[in-house]
Chains A and B, each alone.
Chain A
Amino acid sequence: MQLHFLPGQGRIVALLDNSIISLWEVLDKGGQSELTHIQDFTLPCQPGALPSVSRPTALCVSATGDKLYIGSEAGSVHVLQLSSSKFDDVLSQEGALQSLPEEYRVGKALGAVEAIREDPCTSTSILMGYTRGLLLLWDLNRRCLQRCLPGTQQLESVHWSRSGQQVTCSYSDGSYQEWSLDDSEEQKVPSLLYGPYPCKAITKIQRFITSGCTFVVFSGGMPRASFGDRHCVTVMHEREHVAFDFTSRVVDFFTVSGAKPGTVLDEPKVLVVLVEEELVAIDLMAPGWPSLTPPYLASLHSSAITCSHHVSAIPSKLWERIVACGVQQKEKHSSAEWPINGGVIKSQQRTSRDLLLTGHEDGSVRFWDASGVALQPLYKLSTASVFVTEADQPEPIQETDEGHWPPFRKVGCFDPYSDDPRLGIQKISLCKFSGQLALAGSAGQVLLMELNDEATEHEIDTYTMDLLEENETFRWKGHDRLIVRSGSVPLPAGFQPQLVVQAMPPASLTALALQAEWHLLAFGTSHGFALFDCHQRKPVLTKCTLHPNDALALEGPLSRVKSLKKSLRQSFRRMRKSRTTARKRPDPTTKVREANARLSEQDLPSEVELAPVQRRVEARSPDDSFTGMVKCLYFADTFLRDGSHHGPSLWAGTNAGVVYAYSLEIPTPEHRNEQTIHARFGKEIQLMHRAPVLALAVLDGKSSPLPEPLEVLHDLAKSPDLHGHHSLLIVSEEQFKIFMLPKVNSKHKFKLTATEGSRVRKASLVWLGTPGGNLAGTSGIVTGNDEAVETCLICLTNQGDVHGYSLPSLRLQARFSCMRKEDVTGISSCVFTHTGQGFYLISPSQFERFSVSAASITELLCSLQPREPEAIHAFPIPEYSPTVNKVTPEDAVETKKRGRVMENALLTDSRVLEEIQETLNPSLLTKVDIDMNQNH
């Protein structure tokens, strides 16, 4: 529930919700730092005492870092000597009450200890704030009451200024009050900033005295009726007054101070706010208070991730251009340096430039630098501007918001409410050599983008391809197609759409392939697939794969989602909010509810007995739904028609276990402009087990996969062996099969599902081995070949296991359990890299990275020397206030440092790193809790 740092010691004190105070330390283990659990404390209490006696509510670490003041719910304050792990002093509430002057002692208890502060100058006294509003300044040496500040409202938070002269406290009615300690008689009335109507509590306040003026920063306090659902942090300084409006609940905030030790005046530089979904830093030094771009911990899921795509070894030129476009996008942001730094990264320098592209529900694609440990945002591409959407109409409500009271300003990029679900990106294909990017969306739209360093404005060509081949008997009941904006569309620098192809019916795209060398684009939906010539801008082929009885395929998957209009979304927003505004302390009713829940869980098995889950056992039939769905598309230069002539071909695999192959006649470059491309039907393979075809690949005569388009042209791959027999690898959900080409006779097969009951969810060909030529035979997939790099097939099953198979013999080489089989989104979000690594979403906002290759590991190795003075300096320790969850800069480093070796132990030496932002929300604390329980 709270995290506190012991300055300069590399230690953390965590208050857990089971009333345990737990001490953690960053220890050096083999050259790298790890966060280790040291010790647990509980408040001492008499046997039979009320539980409130031992329930800590407020923590405060002394400036020296050796003492911990712990306030309890019963109102007493304990002092814990961290060096000796002993409680050496107690100030009970009775004692406090007795020392009170008569006029404050009205016979009632003071309530729980809400806040404890140590005197910032002398460290000889502490300030204790009680729920009822009373603040006591207690002299530790003389053990007597120094001062009493009689607050009247329910206390939320206390801040003691750097000079030690001012105390600011905030109350649950949305007001705050300033006390001056030097002039004992002066007492300011509480000010209700956003009044006069009832306001929500100010959960945390900080007030800094800078040269000349004050800086007030607080969270909450919004008028309850009109803006009670906003998540705001208000900053006031001189005349500037901004209420930063976040899209998710504010967990905590702190300011990074630039003040030198020993000075009296404060100098807040950066405000760092942790909201539930992201971490936002705001530059308080720059005019207008712009936000900072975080170098890590960027919000992955600003809009829900719908797909991801990994491209390794990006050519440096393309990389630089993408980075340059990203820099242009960040112009509005502050140029200030990221204020939170520390520790040493010991990981190897990156060996290649890898991109992870994430497609989002709002039609945007984010480019992440996936070469290192932390995913760094490089560039964001939005396709929404290409289409006419509902969001184009200006929102009147938004405009009234601006310029009114309170002075809201939207910050942060988390916006889960997509305006038009049709914009969602379903498939991404990037050609790293040509810089062409193909995107396929939820409403049949396929965009071909090209990188342009300049902003332009041009019309976007649109083509429509009917995948039903004008079959009149089908009627599409799903959503409408997206309308491409007519006329010139202003396009910012970066990837700009060259053309848009619309599949009709506008179903969600299920497969996409871009062949930049031949300038061909293939895409598929649940109805069929199509081939488009990007050079001549002409449709080449459409093929309907729909089974006549498949009624379900005619309904768009979004048909229901579409009816969610904006008003509805607003009300959801409100509902969500009311759920998240949880009370600060668990009250007895929740306990009862939990107990009931536990009881009902125990009842559950008997209910299961009554109505057991049944599964139908039936052979796959061509009448099943979505059999026509195209699952994969693949271009290959191979022997489709006979064994002596190879040529371009297009392959498509469907949900019903059918593979179609077309041979393509592509004119020579000289005639590319005039002659049209012809696609001729080549082969159709019906797999008898009818399981969905997940991947197709052609292996050359040496059984290595054909290189990517343009790869050979750029001298980055050997040209394929065109003399030996090519073979076709078909990966279905149930089996792997290798057929010889062109005769399609089966050569090798492996029946996965029939033998062990797991089904393939994702499959990819990976290149394993070390670049230096030394084989990594210690673990992972043993590469027993002369060549340093060997290809193998890795797949992820629905049981969450990763298997590796040799090619072409399809023998199981290694298997690792990787994810929980219940983690359906994790399994469906998994992408493999060419080097045997993989990414999957462990939560909507977090990717977990793993590796099956011993040679290619991205590992977080870092160290922290906490006791060095520089290190202390590198972590500007903010002033603590025991409110809800604490965040400090070190925290971020710590969490990253924990690095969480993948819980299900993929490989002994492949560590899986939790990067990404947002690890500090309450989920961290639950994890701490879990770890702790394991330790005991």
Chain B
Amino acid sequence: MAKNHRGHARHGSDIEVKSKFGAEFRRFSILRAKPGRFDEFYQLVQHVHRVPTSELIVGYADVHGDLLPINNDDNFLKAVSTAAPLLRVIVQRKEDADYNAFGTNSTLRKRKGLTGFPGLLKTHERPRPTRDISLPQDFRPVSSIIDVDILPETVRRVKLYKQGSDRPLGFYIRDGTSLRVTPRGIEKAPAVFISRLVPGGLAESTGLIAVNDEVLEVNGIEVAGKTLDQVTDMMVANSRNLIITVRPVNQRVGGGSGTLTTAAAAVTTTTTMTTQSTNGLLLPGPPEPGSYVIGNFTDGDSEAESDDDVIIEGGAGSLAERITAEDSERARPNGEAWLHSASDQGLWSSEQALNGSTRSESEQQRAEATANATTYGGHQRHSMEEDGTVITL
């Protein structure tokens, strides 16, 4: 099979692909002008290596020799466009993938190791003891520092992802006074401060908020002039997607130079393992429309996400369906395809036949999360969930 592909590799409009899986190499080519979608490519890779059922992690070596992942359409296109002329693809089984390999100089190191300087291998880091660490996709963000590029250094904008976590936000605020530099000199002004962090709470676990940090904004709205109770209410009302802008305690006027380094990246995200992450799953494909249900990786501060009210419909019998209202509003094109049934589910899986197993697992995961989010006392409803606009119970 590989031979067939090799024949086409000479064409200028094609890209030669050298795919390495363990010790095996396969060569094939794809059209530069029309590379296709990632899932097709993924299927192709599975096919050429004759591992159609295994879950793979696909990476490629870029011009700098870095090993970069191919797991969606975008980075696949990037890989194709930068390939000159050969696209070197490295395929690993998901279960024994070495995630440390991704990153700067990874392929160079690897190549050195592989190209017959075994003595050098020792001087590099020894192969680390394999840890069961998942990919970023399997993490749920807990907090992030955002807008670093637009905010002054003394200010930090922290986003706490409460959604999907059963951990309490876990902090207290208090009244106080802060010194402000004004045209008239330094003035005292009433201000709101973090007064206490609850051990084990979300706020404490992030390490981005500290006691005596001054709260400047809540979700982009200035706190100045508002009472402690108002600020509390604002935070509670935004609790599912809380963005607090603080002046860290060591960054005050007249304070030290500060510990916060100016990161070049606009977003620095700290992540920790979610408790609900069931398995190390790489989800290929575009970001899913329903991901907000579990808050799996909600990016951005779109308003809608904090708003998915759950509606339980009383059916003819005791069957009730659960729909996320925001979602139906946003994603349903005709407003009629409303009650999906088991056949719809079948449709879904046929559309997404490439990653059917993945899909079903993610669905399960989501269903669990939704069930968590929407459990009420006294309601013992058999729940099953569907992706997309409709959730049937």
Show the binding face of A for B, using Cβ within 8 Å: 544, 546-549, 608, 612-620, 622, 658, 663, 680-689, 691, 734-735, 737, 739, 743-747, 749, 751, 753-759, 798-799, 821
Contacts and interface: CB of A to CB of B under 8 A. Distances in A.
A736 B239 CA distance: 17
B313 A691 contact: no
B311 A754 contact: no
Interface in B15-37: none
B226 A617 contact: no
Given A686-B309, A757-B226, A799-B230, A548 B237 contact: no
Nearest to B379: A684
A617 B329 contact: no
A683 B312 contact: yes
Contacts of A615: 172-174, 228-229, 231-232
B65 interface: no
Contact of A757 (B231, B314, B377): B231
Interface string B59-91: 000000000000000000000000000000000
Contacts of B170: 618
B236 interface: yes
A549 B374 contact: no
B375 to A, nearest CB: 8
Interface in B327-345: 328-329, 335, 338
Given A549-B377, A614-B195, A758-B230, A619 B236 contact: yes
Given A688-B309, A746-B307, A619 B169 contact: yes
Contacts of B252: none
Contacts of A548: 377-378
B176 interface: yes
B377 A755 contact: no
B117 interface: no
B378 A681 contact: no
B310 interface: yes
A617 B235 contact: yes
Contacts, number: 145
Contacts of B233: 734, 753, 757-759, 798
B174 A614 contact: yes
Interface string B237-252: 1111000000000000
B371 to A, nearest CB: 13
Nearest to A755: B221
A734 B235 CA distance: 11
Closest 9 interchain pairs by CB? A757-B230, A619-B239, A753-B237, A681-B314, A684-B312, A757-B234, A615-B232, A754-B237, A612-B174
B306 interface: yes
Contact of B228 (A613, A619, A747, A751): A613
A622 B237 contact: no
Contact of A619 (B162, B234, B328, B374): B162
17 contacts: A546-B377, A547-B377, A613-B175, A615-B229, A615-B231, A618-B239, A622-B376, A681-B314, A686-B376, A743-B328, A745-B328, A746-B307, A746-B329, A749-B307, A754-B238, A758-B233, A799-B230
Contacts of B314: 663, 680-684
B219 interface: yes
Q: Which of the listed residues B195, B226, B230, B236 has the most CB atoms from chain A within 10 Å of its own CB?
A: B236
B273 interface: no
Contacts of B171: 617
Interface string B162-187: 10000011111111100000000000
A146 B311 CA distance: 93
A746 B331 CA distance: 12
B169 A617 contact: yes
B54 to A, nearest CB: 39
A680 B237 CA distance: 33
Q: Which of the listed residues A614, A681, A749, A756 has the most CB atoms from chain B within 10 Å of its own CB?
A: A614
A799 to B, nearest CB: 7
B325 A620 contact: no
A686 B393 CA distance: 15
Contact of A614 (B173, B239, B377): B173
Interface string B216-231: 0011010000111111
A764 to B, nearest CB: 21
User: Chain B interface secondary structure, helix, strand, loop or mixed?
Assistant: mixed
Interface in B229-281: 229-240
Contacts of A681: 314
B9 interface: no
Interface string B353-381: 00000000000000000000011111000
B167 to A, nearest CB: 10
A775 B55 CA distance: 70
B146 interface: no
A756 B162 CA distance: 21
Contacts of A658: 376
Contacts of B325: 685, 739, 744-746
Contact of A689 (B172, B173, B237, B326): B237
A616 B238 CA distance: 14
B329 to A, nearest CB: 5
Q: Which of the listed residues A620, A685, A745, A751 has the most CB atoms from chain B within 10 Å of its own CB?
A: A745
B174 A617 contact: no
Nearest to B376: A622
A663 B174 CA distance: 47
A608 to B, nearest CB: 8
B5 interface: no
Contacts of A618: 168-170, 236, 239
Nearest to B310: A686
Contacts of B174: 612-615
B43 to A, nearest CB: 37
Contact of B240 (A612, A680, A688, A691): A688
A612 B326 contact: no
Contacts of A622: 375-377
Given A686-B376, A689-B307, A691-B237, 12 more contacts: A614-B195, A615-B232, A619-B168, A686-B311, A734-B237, A739-B325, A743-B335, A746-B325, A751-B237, A756-B234, A757-B218, A757-B230
B288 interface: no
A620 B169 CA distance: 10
B158 interface: no
Q: Which of the listed residues A547, A612, A739 has the most CB atoms from chain B within 10 Å of its own CB?
A: A612
A743 B389 CA distance: 12
Contacts of A663: 314
Q: Which of the listed residues A685, A739, A744 has the most CB atoms from chain B within 10 Å of its own CB?
A: A744
B323 to A, nearest CB: 7
B201 to A, nearest CB: 9
B94 interface: no
A757 B235 CA distance: 8
A757 B218 CA distance: 10
B149 interface: no
Nearest to A691: B237
A684 B311 contact: yes
A612 B175 CA distance: 7
A442 to B, nearest CB: 26
Contacts of A751: 237
B352 to A, nearest CB: 25
A619 B218 CA distance: 14
B196 interface: yes
B308 interface: yes
A547 to B, nearest CB: 5
Contacts of A756: 221, 226, 230, 234
A746 B309 contact: yes
Nearest to B244: A617
Contacts of A798: 229, 233
A612 B168 contact: no
Q: Which of the listed residues A548, A615, A622 has the most CB atoms from chain B within 10 Å of its own CB?
A: A615
Nearest to A628: B377
Nearest to B196: A614
Nearest to A612: B174
A617 B308 contact: no
Contact of B329 (A544, A614, A745): A745
